[in-house]
Chain A
Amino acid sequence: MGFHIIGDADTVLGYRFAGLSGDVVETAEEARVAFKAAIANNRKGVLLITEAVEDMLADDVTAHRLSSKPPYLAVMQDIWGPRGKRRSLQELIYEAVGIRIVQDN
């Protein structure tokens, strides 16, 4: 299996040009259904989700990440630009290692 993307219509359109299969979702409910289906179907692949989808499904996404099962997740920015301040991978590392203890706002 290869790549799959879940996101809004315009972002998904872009990735369709790279030959990805994609689910267009608008609401949290749609996103949850698509996410569950993608996890069930796409064994051994990469699942791309947009930041908007990650925000909608924060709990499911975290749970899936920690289960260390494929598909492997990567969060991509929406085509409409970044959605506010997010916790980046660097910050996650700093926090875990203990370089920074408190999250600064």
Chain B
Amino acid sequence: MSRLNIAPTKSNQLNLKRSLKMTSEGFALLEQKREILVMELMRLLDRVKVVQQELAQRRQKAYATLRKAASHNGYYHMRNIANGINYEHDVHSDTRVVAGIRIPTLSVKQGAFRSQYGFADTDSLVDQTMIDFLALLESAGKLAELETAVWLLARELKKTQRRVNALEHIFIPNYKDTLRYIGEVLEGKDLDSFFTMKMVKKRLAEAAEAAEAAEQAQLRDSDAPDTTP
């Protein structure tokens, strides 16, 4: 049992009760947020698997083609060709909001494949390299979107998890224990004062009785000694 270090008074008890209520509400909200985040991440997980598989395939193909093309045409020739290639890729980003986190969504408009170099001293492997890498780029765009989303959601989920745990295992039990403690102490005090009152009442009654008896005795016999304590 752990409790906060505060004096067991009625006003503290009221304050604590209010805090406990708010904490419980916050806990319920955070718990919901956690569930939403978990659901979102699990949904992303499926997409991540698909995209990564697609990416791995396209990457292997593109890299293999590049190696082949380089060995056929020569590395320096390839570099010269590459310097002349220019595509207009347009990336448009938007945001969607999941559980209060802004997550970017990307839409990529790629330049369409077209020949950008002389035919005379290049072979089909160069064309194929270009086609393969354009395909790879499409997957890369999807991956970028997913990576960003997963990183942000994962961080938020970890944060939420920690808060939920702190509330569930530390704050709420602390408040409850302290409230129980204060309740017990106040009850004890109540009993104490009740008992004291009884005692006082009893003493007073005794005193009154004695006084009355004395008075009557005095009335009966004015020489009787005074017996009041």
Contact = CB atoms under 8 A, between A and B. Distances in A.
Interface of A: 1-3, 13-20, 44-48, 65-66, 68, 70, 72-77, 79, 88-90, 92-93, 95-98
B157 A96 contact: yes
Contacts of A65: 147-148, 151-152
B180 interface: no
A16 B83 CA distance: 7
B82 interface: yes
Contact of B87 (A18, A77, A93, A98): A18
Contacts of A90: 45, 48-49, 52
Interface in B37-82: 38, 41-42, 44-45, 48-49, 52, 59, 62-63, 66-67, 70, 78-79, 81-82
Interface string B124-146: 00100110011011001101111
Classify the interface of chain A: helix, strand, loop or mixed.
Answer: mixed
A17 B104 CA distance: 27
Interface residues of B, number: 58
Given A14-B63, A79-B66, A93-B44, A73 B154 contact: no
List the 9 closest A-B pairs by CB distance, nearest first. Answer: A19-B87, A2-B89, A96-B154, A74-B144, A16-B82, A18-B133, A72-B144, A74-B143, A46-B144
Classify the interface of chain B: helix, strand, loop or mixed.
Answer: helix
A96 to B, nearest CB: 4
Contact of B91 (A1, A17, A77, A97): A1
Contact of B89 (A3, A66, A73): A3
Nearest to B160: A96
